[in-house]
Amino acid sequence: MKISFNILKNEDLFQTSNPAAIGAFLLVAIIITALLSVRYYLYQDIIKNGIAQKTILAKNTFQVVDKQRTELIKREVANKIRPVVAPVEGDYIKVDLQKVIDDIERIKKENKPYQVKEKELFDLIEINDTERKNHAISFIMSSTDTNLDTAFSNTKYILNELLTVGFFDADITNFITDSFIDKTLGNHNKKSQYPLIIGLIEHSVIPNLIIDEDATEIARKNARNAVKPYIVTYKKGDKIITTGDKVTQLKKDALKQSGYNAFELNKGGVFGIFTLVCLIMYSLVLYIKKYEKKYYTPRYMLYISLSSIILTYICILVANSSLSNYIMPFAAFTMILAIFTNPILSFLVSILMLAILSVTLFFDSQLNYVFICAILSSSYLISKISYSKRLDIIRCGFQVGCVMFLAMFFVSFFEIQTAAIPKLMQMQAQNPILGILNGLISSVITMTLIPIIEKLCKIVSPYALIELADQNQELLSKMRNSAPGTFHHSLMVANLCEAAASAIGADSILARVGAFYHDIGKLQRPLFFIENQSYFGVENPHTTLTPRQSKMVITLHTKDGVEMAKKYGLPQVIIDFIQQHHGESLAGHFYNKALEQEGAQNVTEEQFRYPGPKPQTKETAILMLADALESAVRSLKKPSSEEIEGMVNKIFTERLNDGQLSDSPLTLKDIKVIAMTFNKILRGMQHDRIKYQERVQSELEDKTKINIQNPQDEEFERKIQELQEKSHKKDENEK
């Protein structure tokens, strides 16, 4: 479907700076900075330049981990771990020994002078001890082949024993001794062989053990991780610090455990916190102003600010207590914010708050990881709940708790890197359970705070909208009885609005409820509106009025509707639908009638326009289009698909060319999607099945006359079955 129009650009409603808004911005930044800074200044006079200025006693019994002592014990245990060694292949040592033996046998068999052979052997055998070297050469030259072979065999045997044991470079001289040879070969062997045996082994052997650096490091890490934290117990009344003492890390941790804070923060630090808070807040305001304009209002900014301040205060209380940081309510903060705004904005605000608190409260990386998972899962899962079922929040909270459980469980692998899983689960079971508890408590907090926030900040939640959509509400019940035509029209428009809003990603619940109440002003004078006249069977009263009087009566229903909405306590977001659903459009029928009666020179369009304002949101803009279109299509008699599509084009083009959508955030793509959605639904509304039903009923009566006296007759059953199949087939084709 094609739509031709000229669309105006949306105006930025927040171009000018507002002193009140700037003041509120600075006030929130100062409050958050004060909360984050006071924890450092509150007890800063306890310590000065690392020296205790007061004597502090323990208020109750508690335990503190001595991190420095624990680290010292871990180092000592790791240093006691001997290097892990690994043997290397020793075949090349045996090959080298055999080569030397072969050379000795060759030299001895050569036909050369004795001195020449002796010199060659002296050069061949590398022995540091000259005396032992001479004894070995003398044994070679004087021994028989049998004795020499025995010495060589003994040498190989001893070498095998040495390679089996393994040794370092410094161990070689310790192993190759007469006593070792005696122990290995037995005392019955001839001592004259020993110099040769020791010389050959010393010549061939090199260290066959090396240190495995990786295995050694792993063993030392395991030893460090196996060390239990060194716990120091302070009993009630024990001195934590004494005046004049140097404050160690252990004493600082003990002060923190008792509710004190030993961190020193100067004015520069406070200014740094203030700058960080202002920067993050300003970034958030820019995002909301550009991408989430509907929330750039005093109500929503007040809500986000108060929620952020409360979250900061609670996190500071938890950080200064003995409670685990894993119970901080980031999940509850995200869930509540997502219900009143949207998941994307709630995720962004929560992440920015986590950034501020992480920097100022010194969260570790594991804690940040868990809270990021909690925020992400909360913002996603809350978007999947059904607002008609309040207990869905409990289910959502449990699911978030399970996500935190898994995140905290896997984080524990970083804390105990090589521990067995049973030991890991035993040591790290407490925090993951806190994750599930956090999720469940967050859901309870969310359910509790929703009505309080609605009352305090005047913001409507989807739950309140669901309650307003109940057709037994007083206003809707009154409309059903006093203006049934208007009531039916509102129901049809609500269906159109809900489908279109869902198609473009707008708030479908808000669009539907706004459509229910948009015409409540007609309750003041229901018979002046054509949809009610036919129901009550009265003549059109506008025949007795002038066009200007009729225009006044018709356009007054928006003002009457606002007054009734305020009287019955409807929220402002619904009042906006009542005010804006006609925008500043022209009451064309009475304008044309006035032109005929008074002449073009006496009538202007401005005199016959609604007071406005124009639609400011996607939902109110959808209502304007749906309201006009439903009335126009209802005026057609048995409209075809082409006529419905033509009417959609006509209404959309008129509203666009008249500039009625210029203040709404609808895009060209949104308008096309809305048009296609309206076309589809209106074709379904105009679906006519009366003739088909009469035809089937008549045919059924004729067929059942075949053998009505014997309903068990096979022919009768076959005809009925054929008829039913035919009816189902036609019904499907009709759909």
What is the pLDDT, as a whole number, of residue 312?
92
Q: Are 273 and 40 in contact (CB under 8 A)?
A: no
Beta carbons within 8 Å of 255's beta carbon, 6+ residues apart:
43, 46, 56, 240, 241, 261, 262
Question: Does position 496 have pLDDT exceeding 90, yes or no?
Answer: yes
- For residue 230, being part of any structural domain is answered with no
Instruction: Measure the CA–CA gap between 7 and 179, rounded to whole angstroms.
Output: 106
Question: Does position 8 have pLDDT exceeding 70, yes or no?
Answer: no
What is the pLDDT, as a whole number, of residue 516?
93
* pLDDT bucket at 691, cuts 50 / 70 / 90: very low
Mean pLDDT for the stretch of residues 396-401: 91
Give the domain-ending residue among 459, 483, 514.
459
186-195, 588-597, 662-671: range with highest mean pLDDT: 662-671
Instruction: Measure the CA–CA gap between 29 and 529, rounded to whole angstroms.
Output: 53
* Count, residues in the chain: 735
Q: Could you tell me if 505 and 653 lie in one domain?
A: yes
Q: Could you tell me if 550 and 439 lie in one domain?
A: no
- For residue 242, being part of any structural domain is answered with no
Question: Does position 7 have pLDDT exceeding 70, yes or no?
Answer: no
What is the pLDDT, as a whole number, of residue 380?
92
Measuring CA to CA, how many Å separate 117 from each of 105, 112, 171?
11, 7, 33
What is the pLDDT, as a whole number, of residue 715?
56
Selected residue with higher pLDDT from 414 and 112: 112
Q: Could you tell me if 400 and 499 lie in one domain?
A: no
* pLDDT bucket at 678, cuts 50 / 70 / 90: very high
Mean pLDDT of the chain: 78
Q: Are 254 and 55 in contact (CB under 8 A)?
A: no
pLDDT digits (tens, 9 = 90+) for 233-277: 888 778 888 888 787 878 877 777 665 655 555 677 788 888 899
For 236, the token pair is: 């009630």
Mean pLDDT for the stretch of residues 670-683: 91
Q: Could you tell me if 706 and 662 lie in one domain?
A: no
What is the pLDDT, as a whole number, of residue 243?
81
Mean pLDDT for the stretch of residues 485-491: 90
Q: Count of H helices and E strands in the chain?
A: 32, 8
Selected residue with higher pLDDT from 163 and 382: 382
Q: Could you tell me if 496 and 454 lie in one domain?
A: no
Question: Does position 27 have pLDDT exceeding 70, yes or no?
Answer: yes
Q: Could you tell me if 528 and 554 lie in one domain?
A: yes
Question: Does position 675 have pLDDT exceeding 90, yes or no?
Answer: yes
* CATH number for 670: 1.10.3210
- For residue 554, being part of any structural domain is answered with yes
Selected residue with higher pLDDT from 223 and 537: 223
**Least reliable range by pLDDT among 119-133, 392-406, 494-508:** 119-133
Selected residue with higher pLDDT from 394 and 687: 394
Give the domain-ending residue among 188, 211, 234.
211
pLDDT digits (tens, 9 = 90+) for 77-102: 888 877 766 665 556 677 777 888 87
Q: Are strands 51-52 and 47-48 parallel, antiparallel or unpaired?
A: antiparallel
Calculate the dihedral angle through the C-alpha atoms of 53, 55, 61, 67, rounding to the nearest 10 degrees. Answer: 40
State the number of CA atoms in the 13 A half-sphere of 289 facing the CB.
14
Question: Does position 166 have pLDDT exceeding 70, yes or no?
Answer: no
- For residue 195, being part of any structural domain is answered with yes
pTM for the predicted model, two decimal places = 0.61
**Least reliable range by pLDDT among 42-56, 456-470, 596-610:** 42-56
Mean pLDDT for the stretch of residues 44-65: 73
Selected residue with higher pLDDT from 415 and 8: 415
Q: Could you tell me if 508 and 646 lie in one domain?
A: yes
Beta carbons within 8 Å of 359's beta carbon, 6+ residues apart:
276
Calculate the dihedral angle through the C-alpha atoms of 1, 615, 550, 516, rounding to the nearest 10 degrees. Answer: 80
For 275, the token pair is: 């700058």
Question: Does position 378 have pLDDT exceeding 90, yes or no?
Answer: yes
What is the pLDDT, as a whole number, of residue 6?
37
* pLDDT bucket at 727, cuts 50 / 70 / 90: low
Question: Does position 384 have pLDDT exceeding 50, yes or no?
Answer: yes
Instruction: Measure the CA–CA gap between 248 and 246, rounded to whole angstroms.
Output: 6
- For residue 41, being part of any structural domain is answered with no
What is the pLDDT, as a whole number, of residue 309?
93
* pLDDT bucket at 375, cuts 50 / 70 / 90: very high
Beta bridge partners of 63: 233
Domain count for the chain, please give it: 4
Instruction: Measure the CA–CA gap between 660 and 11, rounded to whole angstroms.
Output: 13
**Which residue is listed with tokens 């600075």?**
26
SS3 269: helix
Q: Could you tell me if 310 and 371 lie in one domain?
A: yes
Q: Could you tell me if 430 and 523 lie in one domain?
A: no
pLDDT digits (tens, 9 = 90+) for 324-347: 888 899 999 999 999 998 899 999
For 571, the token pair is: 């929220």
What is the pLDDT, as a whole number, of residue 470?
87
pLDDT digits (tens, 9 = 90+) for 583-636: 989 888 888 888 888 888 888 888 888 988 999 999 999 999 999 998 888 888
Question: Does position 704 have pLDDT exceeding 70, yes or no?
Answer: no
Name the residue among 302, 332, 325 with its Cα closest to residue 448.
Answer: 332
What is the pLDDT, as a whole number, of residue 17?
53
Question: Does position 311 have pLDDT exceeding 50, yes or no?
Answer: yes
- For residue 370, being part of any structural domain is answered with yes
Selected residue with higher pLDDT from 125 and 7: 125
Q: Could you tell me if 450 and 581 lie in one domain?
A: no
* CATH number for 448: 1.10.1760
- For residue 662, being part of any structural domain is answered with yes
- For residue 279, being part of any structural domain is answered with no
**Least reliable range by pLDDT among 106-120, 458-472, 559-573, 640-654:** 106-120
Instruction: Measure the CA–CA gap between 382 and 371, rounded to whole angstroms.
Output: 16
SS3 459: coil
Give the domain-ending residue among 177, 211, 245.
211
Domain containing 119 equals 85-211
Q: Could you tell me if 723 and 642 lie in one domain?
A: no
Q: Are 245 and 51 in contact (CB under 8 A)?
A: yes
Name the residue among 362, 358, 359 with its Cα closest to residue 252.
Answer: 362
Mean pLDDT for the stretch of residues 305-326: 86
Q: Could you tell me if 114 and 188 lie in one domain?
A: yes
